Amino acid sequence: MSSQTAPGSSPLVAPVLEWYDEHARDLPWRRPEASAWSVMVSEFMLQQTPVNRVLPVHETWLERWPTPADLAAEPTGEAVRAWGRLGYPRRALRLHAAATAIRDEHGGEVPADYDALLALPGVGDYTAAAIATFAHGRRHVVLDTNVRRVLGRAVSGVEFPARSVTRAERDVAAALLPDDEPTAATWSVAVMELGALVCTADRPRCDACPVVALCAWHTAGRPAYDGPPRPVQTYAGTDRQCRGRLLAVLRDAEGAVPSDRLDAVWDDAAQRARCLESLLADGLAVRTADGGVALP
């Protein structure tokens, strides 16, 4: 990875690239031998899920389904089963649907073109840009939570960005992208890594930051966030927890599960029924002819 940048580029770029050269984590989807499919699987799994939880599932997934066609050949229920306890299991259905489209429409190869990626099921702007950038070395603005926080602090002087991506943020990110495609791709992952390891949400380690002297937020005295209240996620007692309990029973079963086995994992009957119906509606579960419930 080169830390050389084009003349006239932002002074933020070279120090961040040099820091990344030294501090980047060794993650399987970043290795030179990683396939575009490995990168794509990681991007689906890493949505709202920490790296340490993704690593073992990503490894077993790639061992079982080393190509999109391998996954597409299996029933969707197997994708849900293999997703395990990563959470937000609809991502497994979307990844299966995307794999099927890649097999049927792209000869089994993960496309490099942003628009082709965006047209895949379950792929939005961020995921399309990330796959094009990290799998194929293309030059795109990649704005995840970590990147938005780093750029918000370093350039705009705010502790946290707005809840949704703004045009101003996108313009800032675009202006910072090095012109050279491989360097731009490395810059995108380097900023993401800086946000994950140093410029964290709760306890930023400014003393370890390679651009602390250039950071507008630090220079201004690290002013506290004064925007709308940031959402606080809860889990205990929620429909999400109930859905997870029900899905765990289905995932661990060999076939259909009788309803009384589901009754045993959640006391609130009304909430349990509502969550089961939502799993059926989402395609994460199906009713069987004998009245049981199973993975699709």
Give a three-class secondary structure readout of 197-216: HCCCCCCCCHHHCCCHHHCH
Task: Identify the burial level of 43 via C-beta atoms within 10 angstroms of its C-beta, where 0-12 means exposed, 13-18 middle and 19 or more buried.
Answer: buried
Q: Count of CB atoms within 10 A of residue 274's CB? A: 13
Predicted TM-score (pTM) of the model is 0.89
| CATH no., domain 28-136 | 1.10.340.30
Helical ranges in 106-238 per DSSP H: 114-118, 125-136, 145-151, 167-176, 181-197, 216-219
Contact 210, 24 (CB under 8 A): no
The per-residue pLDDT for 9 is 75
User: How many Å apart are CA 261 and CA 265, to the nearest integer?
Assistant: 7
Domains of the chain, residue spans: 28-136, 141-219, 239-294
Block residue for tokens 């997870």? 244
Six token digits for residue 215:
């950071």
User: How many Å apart are CA 243 and CA 13, to the nearest integer?
Assistant: 44
Cross-strand bridge partners of residue 293: 257, 287
Six token digits for residue 236:
């205990």
Catalytic residues: 43
The per-residue pLDDT for 229 is 75
User: How many Å apart are CA 112 and CA 140, to the nearest integer?
Assistant: 12
8-state DSSP, 257: B
Strand runs (DSSP E) across the chain, as ranges? 286-287, 293-294
CATH level 3 topology of 141-219: Endonuclease Iii, domain 2 (1.10.1670)
Cross-strand bridge partners of residue 294: 286
The pLDDT tens digits along the chain (296 residues) read 333 434 337 999 999 999 999 999 999 999 999 999 999 999 999 998 999 999 999 999 999 999 999 999 999 999 999 999 898 999 999 999 999 999 999 999 999 999 999 999 999 999 999 999 999 999 999 999 999 999 999 999 999 999 899 999 999 999 999 999 999 999 999 999 999 999 999 999 999 999 999 999 999 999 988 877 777 777 788 899 999 999 999 999 888 999 888 998 999 999 999 999 999 999 999 999 888 999 99
The torsion region of residue 108 among left (phi > 0), alpha (psi -120 to 50) and beta comes to: left
What are the C-alpha distances in Å from 120 to residues 28, 91, 130, 174, 293? 24, 13, 14, 24, 29
Q: Count of CB atoms within 10 A of residue 129's CB? A: 23
Contact 16, 1 (CB under 8 A): no
Task: Identify the burial level of 269 via C-beta atoms within 10 angstroms of its C-beta, where 0-12 means exposed, 13-18 middle and 19 or more buried.
Answer: exposed
The per-residue pLDDT for 183 is 95
User: How many Å apart are CA 136 and CA 113, to the nearest integer?
Assistant: 9
The per-residue pLDDT for 259 is 82
The continuous run of DSSP H or E covering 54 comes out as helix 51-64
The per-residue pLDDT for 187 is 97
Contact 83, 91 (CB under 8 A): yes
> Phi and psi at residue 74, in whole multiples of 5°?
-95, 155
